[in-house]
Amino acid sequence: MSVNEIQDTIIEEFSVFEDWMDKYNLLMDYGKDLDEIDPRHKVKDYLIDGCQSKVWLYAEYDSEKIRFTADSDALITRGIVALLVKILSNRTPDEIISANLYFIDEVGLRQNLSPTRSNGLSSMVKQMKLYAMAYKAADDRHAAEGGR
Amino acid sequence: MKEISLIRADFPILGSKIYDKPLIYFDNSATTQKPVSVINAVDEVFTTYNSNIHRGVHALSDQASEKYEEAREKVRSFINAGEQQEIIFTTGTTGSINGIAFSFGEQYIRTGDEIIVSHLEHHANIVPWQMLCERKGAVLRVIPVNNEGEILFDEYLKLLSPRTKIVAVTQVSNALGTILPVRKIIEAAHSRDIPVLIDGAQGIQHGVVDVKELDCDFYVFSGHKIYAPTGIGVLYGKKKWLSELPPYQGGGDMVANVTFEKTTYNELPFKFEAGTTNFAGAIGLGAAIDYLQSIGLSDIVKREHELLVYATERLSAIKELKIYGRSNLKIPVISFLLDKIHQYDTGMILDKMGIAVRTGTHCAQPIMDHFGIDGTVRASMCFYNTKEEIEALAVGIEKVVKMFSK
């Protein structure tokens, strides 16, 4: 599925629930499905700044696609990062860089999560895009060197 | 005491709805809500007599200056300071402490000198002193605490030495709500001729403060935590100190005579009030003091104690809930965690129920480290809260527990 197809599925799933408690429950269910991050990557180096709860994000690149693994010590945050991983993991750097994450507003995450939490969400997105840009830049460099 | 429904009617915001649910405001340690008399007082400044103070020859300026100085007198009388000259208007507790740390440091602190704070301090009463220590090569010493969140007084006595130049402690822990024995702390320091600064940010609104009786050398607090506007605060200092200390900011109004060769400073309190002060805030603070006195501070203390006892009992009944700071001497604050549930998850769900609490380290990381945690949920109450609201909080917490233990 494309980035947007997954986003649309998520939006539809959330739209079923009127009550915010149910939306949170769904969010936490997503958190439960998140692949466990390797304990070696659950360290300070991979902590994201700007979240009140701890969020670890790790990226690996097989020269085609980037795979993200993540975790958080707060369950709601874990749910949020799980959504991002579901949408952006196993994508090419270009797909990640150009992804327009409209689901955040559609699901109501931005308005309904507190401002600091929302900042944490932006930090997560920013960090994922940074990884993609760094890998893409490394690729471009290799290509340039190879062509010389 | 005025009936609770009438008290609540004095605070317009308390009638508001959050996500269609009645607001339950339990974040009073962060900032308090404002009674209509304070809102009107500030409104009146800007609609009827706004003009810069201490400068103009015109009628409005006279009127604004007069109201500002009236507010100073209200503060003086409220904390029972000896003279109006001992009351400096600042931007808040943080501004007051930074000012004193700078002025006192310039005048008295040398390499190897020591400054004592407690393990319970807010960052505002740690960082300015650390900055001073860095500038001067001085050393910060810390009074340790026990597991109830109370300072170890004997350890404090051991820290006092000829090298100690000032003791700066909070009157009440903002993170836990525990009340410190400031009178004893001051007595012990004074017996060795060491001055003491009391951070009253969490104390001023929960009890009668008498700086003469306390005999503290400096007492600082913020207006916004005592039902007044933000951006105004107070620095009380004994005249002896304020006369000796150099100003920490230069500018207009704080000078007597300025030439490029030499400037002489204005008299107290103006020496410490450079630039246009937040006079509207000061007048609002005066109105807040009037309001508190109309309710009666001893009645407020009594009511808040009842709320604390009720909340402690009710919340302790939740077996997953652990309270941090279990001293018998507390303001109405419950700092807690629910089993393994992250404080942020708890705070987010309570928010959805219209209940405002604070989560995190409460700008007091060292005391969180002491307990080996990275934050708590803090429900901080005041006299306008009700037992019904505490019950709603308890029910909300029970829902959170249920939701996260699935």
| HEC profile of B244-258 | HCCCCCCCCCCEEEE
DSSP secondary structure letter of residue B86: G
Where in A48-95 does DSSP place strands (E)? 55-61, 66-72
* CATH number of the structural domain spanning residue A17: 3.90.1010.10
- Model pLDDT for residues B168-186, shown as the tens digit of each residue: 999 999 999 999 999 999 9
B142, B12: one domain: no
Cα–Cα distance, B156 to A133 (Å, whole number)? 54
Would you give per-residue pLDDT tens digits along chain B (406 residues)?
899 999 999 999 999 999 899 999 999 999 999 999 999 999 999 999 999 998 778 999 999 999 999 999 999 999 999 999 999 999 999 999 999 999 999 999 999 999 999 999 999 999 999 999 999 999 999 999 999 999 999 999 999 999 999 999 999 999 999 999 999 999 999 999 999 999 999 999 999 999 999 999 999 999 999 999 999 999 999 999 999 999 999 988 888 889 999 989 999 999 999 999 999 999 999 999 999 999 999 999 999 999 999 999 999 999 999 999 999 899 999 999 999 999 999 999 999 899 999 999 899 999 999 999 999 999 999 999 999 999 999 999 999 999 998 7
**Count of domains forming chain A:** 1
- Model pLDDT for residues A74-87, shown as the tens digit of each residue: 998 899 999 999 99
B109, B230: one domain: yes
B260's CB contacts (< 8 A; 6+ apart) are none
B199, B256: one domain: yes
Q: Which residues of A are catalytic?
A: 51
B383, B248: one domain: no
B269, B379: one domain: no
Q: Chain A: give the shortest CA distance to residue B344, in Å.
A: 7
B64, B128: one domain: yes
B243, B143: one domain: yes
Phi, psi of B290 (to 5 degrees): -55, -45
**pLDDT of res. B72:** 98
Cα–Cα distance, B279 to B260 (Å, whole number)? 29
**pLDDT of res. A146:** 72
B282, B301: one domain: no
B126, B251: one domain: yes
What residues of A are in the B interface, CB distance below 8 Å? 20-21, 24-25, 28, 52-54, 73-77, 113-114, 117
Preferred mutation among A20, A32, A51, A52 to probe B, highest tally of B CBs within 10 A: A52
B-chain residue closest to A75, CA distance: B345
Inter-chain CB proximity A74 and B360 less than 8 Å:
no
Domain boundary among B267, B293, B319: B293
Domain boundary among B268, B293, B318: B293
Contact (CB, 8 A) for B34 and B228: yes
Domain boundary among B293, B312, B346: B293
* CATH number of the structural domain spanning residue B258: 3.40.640.10
Would you give per-residue pLDDT tens digits along chain A (148 residues)?
999 999 999 999 999 998 888 989 999 999 999 988 999 999 999 998 766 788 999 999 999 999 999 999 999 889 999 999 999 999 999 999 999 999 988 887 776 555 555 557 888 899 999 999 999 999 888 888 875 5
**pLDDT of res. B80:** 98
Q: Chain A: give the shortest CA distance to residue B390, in Å.
A: 21
**pLDDT of res. B101:** 98
* CATH number of the structural domain spanning residue B372: 3.90.1150.10
B-chain residue closest to A22, CA distance: B403
B257, B328: one domain: no
**pLDDT of res. B1:** 87
Give residue B88's domain range. 39-293
Inter-chain CB proximity A53 and B351 less than 8 Å:
no
**pLDDT of res. A115:** 52
B243, B340: one domain: no
B294's CB contacts (< 8 A; 6+ apart) are none
Phi-psi region of B193 (alpha: psi -120 to 50; beta: other; left: phi over 0): left
From the CA atom positions of chain A, what is the Rg in Å?
16
Inter-chain CB proximity B348 and A76 less than 8 Å:
yes
| Vertex B281 angle, CA B278 and B283, to 5° | 110
B276, B206: one domain: yes
Three-class SS state of B34: coil
**Count of domains forming chain B:** 2
Cα–Cα distance, A103 to A9 (Å, whole number)? 10
Give residue A78's domain range. 3-147
Task: Count Cβ neighbours within 10 Å for each residue of B143-170 and write b for 16 or more, e otherwise.
Answer: bebeeebbbeeeebeeebeeebbbbbbb
